[in-house]
Chain A
């Protein structure tokens, strides 16, 4: 009898926790869904072709996000292009080359700490270093480098994880055939870790895409009615890098600008821009999932 009542009590506690867990999950899910629906209802009507091809304007119905999405795209491009070589290089060094001693332990701890530094602090750092010292201006280049700095700890950590997941037996197989360390890294470790590295990079970028504080700190404009220079030119060498030094704005800043206006119509614009930003983030996460699945199918240990 005693036993049965004990079991019954345990069962009750068990189901109680299941229900509480479910509720906790529902709170999160429903809130997110409500936010999304609110955004969609508000902004849906503004999502026309012209919204994407127009500059901001004093008149809400004519205002668009052309300069903002071009800014976000170019800044993300610079961020990715900077964060990948530096982040992967650091990860390869730490995982494959660095001797295991107190110095590498210290570096490791610091990378973990850097991931927790508030983004606005990176903005201040970039303002002091990139804008004032290196005179890179309040430009796409400065913004890209700032965000690269911001996501570098995440990129390094996830790349290390990916590199570590390549089994040691593969490294030994390459070495046993006479490969040098670098040949082993470039022919095996990096190719097999690419899926994990890219996934980490995209997740990091989808964090950076929503950042506004550090970019405001370095002096992003909030009203900009022209595009950066094109990346090509008619004369040799045909490629142009003038755009790197152009002023810019990004999606979250444009949204903030609209939200802070008194007119209701601008708030609708902000909601529409929010939907676009959300779409960009979701697309990036989708890409990350796709890449991971593809590489998993190719390589399983």
Chain B
């Protein structure tokens, strides 16, 4: 293990390659995701950050022609997430995702948060009530919505909708939470609240966050991976990455010389 790698592993990515049809997007990516740490993925637009993130919950399986190579080993049970014999639904029940644009269901606030539980077969109203409240509290949304749980989710503001999506992802108590540029559609105030929330959450859950905002990566993450043209250029502790990058390309990128 590299000295700059996390102490306790949650997942290990080994020689990950990914293809959209015949287009080779991700090239030989290997790194380690630390347990209850925030790992940021940065890089210029189109470098493959989203593609990379969506490997972790097998989202690419939803569309034909996509192909993974390599392994993502999930601890503690050493399941290879990418193995064709592993059911992607099982993976998605353990690893949740928050998307770039808030995408609540056009249902009530309550039903949004409860949906993951319903999919898992929970029907007991008392249990649902409790778990929904707990998830909304963890997403720091409870105080704002507790009196209008039956209202349509689409009446919330953009920032609230994104926190609702976080609550929805948290309700099923995932082991890893994936964020794909969760604040790119939000104003600065809403962004600050989400960042705060991510710092709160990392004591409870492993987080991987894609962002093209380097200040955000610096503020919230413990480790940072820099992707460029589908390759992992550098993977390092965040404070090291932003003070003394070991790669010339990384330095050029974080100092704003390109991207």
The answer to whether A and B assemble together is yes
Q: Is the CB of A170 within 8 A of B96?
A: no
- Determine how close the nearest CB of chain B comes to the CB of A192; give it in whole angstroms: 6
Q: Is the CB of B59 within 8 A of A179?
A: no
Known: A178-B116, A178-B119, A183-B119. Is A173-B64 also a contact (CB below 8 A)?
no
Q: Is the CB of A300 within 8 A of B96?
A: no
Annotate A242-285 by CB proximity to B: 1 below 8 A, 0 otherwise.
Answer: 00000000000000000000000000000000000000000000
Contacts from B to A (Cβ < 8 Å): 57, 59, 62, 64, 89, 92-93, 96-97, 99, 101, 103-106, 115-116, 118-120, 152, 154, 165, 168-169, 172
Q: How far is the CA of A178 from the CA of B116 in the complex (A)?
A: 7
Q: How far is the CA of A187 from the CA of B103 in the complex (A)?
A: 15
Q: Please indicate the chain B residues that have their CB under 8 angstroms from the CB of A169 in the complex.
A: 99, 101, 103
Q: How far is the CA of A176 from the CA of B169 in the complex (A)?
A: 9
15 pairs from A and B in contact (CB 8 Å cutoff): A169-B103, A170-B106, A172-B62, A172-B99, A173-B105, A174-B105, A175-B92, A177-B92, A178-B116, A179-B119, A180-B89, A187-B115, A187-B118, A188-B105, A298-B152
Q: How far is the CA of A172 from the CA of B154 in the complex (A)?
A: 17
Asked if A100 is at the interface of the complex by the 8 Å CB criterion, the answer is yes
- Give the 6 A-B residue pairs with the shortest CB-CB distance, closest first: A177-B116, A169-B103, A178-B93, A176-B97, A299-B106, A178-B92
- Determine how close the nearest CB of chain A comes to the CB of B116; give it in whole angstroms: 4
Query: Chain B: which residue is nearest A187 at the CB level?
Result: B115
Query: Chain B: which residue is nearest A300 at the CB level?
Result: B154
Annotate A90-129 by CB proximity to B: 1 below 8 A, 0 otherwise.
Answer: 0000000001100000000000000000000000000000
- Determine how close the nearest CB of chain A comes to the CB of B68; give it in whole angstroms: 17
Interface size class of A (residues with CB under 8 A): 20 to 34
Task: Specify which of B89, B93, B99, B120 lies most central, judged by the most chain A CB atoms within 10 Å of its CB.
Answer: B89
- Determine how close the nearest CB of chain B comes to the CB of A170; give it in whole angstroms: 6
Q: Please indicate the chain A residues that have their CB under 8 angstroms from the CB of B64 in the complex.
A: 99-100
Q: Please indicate the chain B residues that have their CB under 8 angstroms from the CB of A178 in the complex.
A: 89, 92-93, 116, 119-120, 172
Q: Please indicate the chain A residues that have their CB under 8 angstroms from the CB of B172 in the complex.
A: 177-178
Q: How far is the CA of A173 from the CA of B99 in the complex (A)?
A: 8
Q: How far is the CA of A13 from the CA of B172 in the complex (A)?
A: 66
Q: Please indicate the chain A residues that have their CB under 8 angstroms from the CB of B118 in the complex.
A: 187
Q: Is the CB of A177 within 8 A of B59?
A: no
Q: Please indicate the chain A residues that have their CB under 8 angstroms from the CB of B59 in the complex.
A: 172, 175-176
Known: A170-B105, A300-B154. Is A176-B96 also a contact (CB below 8 A)?
yes
Known: A183-B119, A298-B152. Is A173-B92 also a contact (CB below 8 A)?
no
Q: How far is the CA of A102 from the CA of B135 in the complex (A)?
A: 46
Q: How far is the CA of A298 from the CA of B151 in the complex (A)?
A: 11
Q: Is the CB of A173 within 8 A of B106?
A: no
Q: Is the CB of B96 within 8 A of A177?
A: yes
Q: How far is the CA of A66 from the CA of B118 in the complex (A)?
A: 50
Q: How far is the CA of A176 from the CA of B54 in the complex (A)?
A: 10
Q: Please indicate the chain B residues that have their CB under 8 angstroms from the CB of A299 in the complex.
A: 106, 154
Q: Please indicate the chain B residues that have their CB under 8 angstroms from the CB of A174 in the complex.
A: 105, 115
Q: Please indicate the chain B residues that have their CB under 8 angstroms from the CB of A100 in the complex.
A: 64
Q: How far is the CA of A178 from the CA of B168 in the complex (A)?
A: 12
Q: How far is the CA of A170 from the CA of B115 in the complex (A)?
A: 12
Q: Please indicate the chain A residues that have their CB under 8 angstroms from the CB of B96 in the complex.
A: 176-177
Q: How far is the CA of A252 from the CA of B248 in the complex (A)?
A: 81
Q: Please indicate the chain B residues that have their CB under 8 angstroms from the CB of A173 in the complex.
A: 99, 103-105, 165, 168
Task: Specify which of B89, B103, B152 lies most central, judged by the most chain A CB atoms within 10 Å of its CB.
Answer: B103
Q: Please indicate the chain B residues that have their CB under 8 angstroms from the CB of A298 in the complex.
A: 106, 152
- Determine how close the nearest CB of chain A comes to the CB of B95; give it in whole angstroms: 9
- Determine how close the nearest CB of chain A comes to the CB of B98; give it in whole angstroms: 9
Point out the residue from B103, B116, B152 that lies within 8 Å of A170, measured CB to CB. Answer: B103
Known: A99-B64, A100-B64, A188-B105. Is A176-B92 also a contact (CB below 8 A)?
yes
Q: Is the CB of A192 within 8 A of B168?
A: no
